[in-house]
């Protein structure tokens, strides 16, 4: 199984816009992995999908979400950088962490 973290800009976007971008990224990843790795299962990891038992602070600061993202990166094989990542500070930090810890990086086309 291949575990992939989706890194996407979120600041200033509505929940619906964030989910739309994530869903498009998931579709692209499924197409890529179906073509290149026919029998490889994918598990998509995203901060938009939290464990139902996790406690989220009331009105969490953006740094809380970034910390959660870094926790999730500890258990993935690859990070998928959505368009616009270079203009989003959180995405830049996620890419930096992935680089430091030798996590494969793939970029949305």
Ramachandran class of 88: left when φ > 0, alpha when ψ lies in -120 to 50, beta otherwise: beta
| Confidence bin at 37 (pLDDT 50/70/90) | low
Q: How many domains does the chain have?
A: 1
Is residue 4 a contact partner of residue 43, using CB atoms and an 8 Å limit? Answer: yes
Spatial neighbors of 60 by CB under 8 A, at least 6 apart, are none
CATH code of residue 22: 3.40.50.450
Structure tokens at 108: 């949305």
The CA R_g of the chain, rounded to the nearest whole Å, is 14
pLDDT at 106 over 90: yes
Segment 59-104, tens digit of pLDDT: 778 888 899 899 999 999 999 999 999 999 999 999 999 999 999 9
Q: Which residue has the higher pLDDT, 57 or 2?
A: 2
Mean predicted lDDT score pLDDT of the chain: 88
Quick one: which of 32, 5, 13 has its CA closest to 97? 5
Three-state DSSP class for 70? helix
Burial (Cβ within 10 Å: 0-12, 13-18, ≥19) of residue 98: buried
Write out the residue range of the structural domain in which residue 51 sits: 2-107
């Amino acid at each position: 199984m291949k575990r992939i973290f989706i890194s996407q800009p979120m600041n200033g976007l509505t929940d619906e816009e964030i989910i739309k971008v994530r869903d498009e990224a998931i579709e692209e990843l499924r197409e890529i992995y179906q073509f290149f790795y026919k029998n490889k299962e994918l598990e998509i990891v995203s901060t938009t999908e939290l464990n139902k038992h996790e406690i989220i602070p009331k009105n969490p600061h953006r740094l809380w979400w970034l910390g959660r993202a870094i926790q999730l990166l500890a258990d993935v094989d690859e990070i998928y950088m959505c368009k616009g990542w270079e203009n989003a500070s959180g995405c830049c930090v996620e890419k930096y962490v992935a680089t430091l810890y030798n996590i494969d990086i793939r970029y949305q086309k």
